[in-house]
Amino acid sequence: MKIYCLIENTKSSDLFDCEHGLSLFIDTGSLKILFDMGSSDAYIENSKKLDLDLSEVDVAIISHGHYDHGGGLKSFLEINKKAKVYISKSAFEPHYNGQGKYIGLDTSVTYSDRIILTDGIVNIDTGVTVFNCNRLKPKYEIECFGQTALKNGEYINEDYRHEQYLMIEENGKRALFSGCSHRGILNIVNWIEADYIVGGFHFSKMELNKELEDRACYLNTVKSHFITCHCTGEKQFEFMKKYAKNIECIRSGEIMEI
């Protein structure tokens, strides 16, 4: 399969835009999949520079209910008239960062009958599955970094029950796509076996210290190959590369084949 990075926090060249967000175009050969939609329409402009036509996308997935992964949803529904968009049933709940700023999705798009609210496991096509890990017990604490969700009129610490993952099984290989790994990349690799794991680690707020070194060393023991981006953090990625030989990064405009 080919993975096109439509938008990410960094860019491969000045030809492409970058922003705080993530959007990946995945071509399996039989399906064209859009995974996340960035903070704005910038991913659409980058797709044109990569000669991709997003009106031809067959399936779209939003990994969780934060604006930097679903900010371009409304525009996608306007340019693509056929793809169903799979998103957690909890994703449109109000979500806030540590400073109390709203970081959720635009709820005005919920009218669309192409939005499929998910819970548990959804088989989209042969070898293509969307699922959450809400029923699995975390081995490591899920860190919310002050983020909250508004439920029943009360602000509670995020548990990221709105986070879901995409698994693509092709030619005997398993590729897992995770937008931010809010439920913890260390938990995810304990829950799920995959040959490739693509997405953010949510380490950008971590200090370059022994704790981050230990996490990198742990990931180095996992059989998965990691292609990371977005909320992992540039400095954190460079630091981890010293200890984890199985990680690389992907930037706006880059194409990888796995």
Q: Residues 14-52: pLDDT tens digits? A: 999 999 999 999 999 999 999 999 999 999 999 999 999
Domain count across the chain: 1
Q: What is the CATH number of the domain that holds 166?
A: 3.60.15.10
pLDDT tens-digit map of 62-97 = 999 999 999 999 999 999 999 999 999 999 999 999
pLDDT attached to residue 85: 98
User: Residue 242 burial (CB < 10 Å; 0-12/13-18/19+)?
Assistant: exposed
Share of the chain above pLDDT 90, in %: 97
What letter would DSSP give residue 88?
Answer: E
pLDDT tens-digit map of 173-193 = 999 999 999 999 999 999 999
Q: Count CB-CB contacts under 10 A for residue 111.
A: 8
Rounded to 5°, the CA angle 234-86-119 comes to 100
Domain coverage including residue 222: 2-257
CA distance 84 to 4: 20
Residue 244, token pair as written in the block:
């984890």
CB 200 within 8 A of CB 231: yes
pLDDT tens-digit map of 195-250 = 999 999 999 999 999 999 999 999 999 999 999 999 999 999 999 999 999 999 99
For residue 123, CA distances in Å to 41, 52, 57 come to: 28, 25, 17
Q: What is the value of pTM for the model shown? A: 0.97
- Which pairing describes strands 148-151 and 95-96: parallel, antiparallel, or unpaired? antiparallel
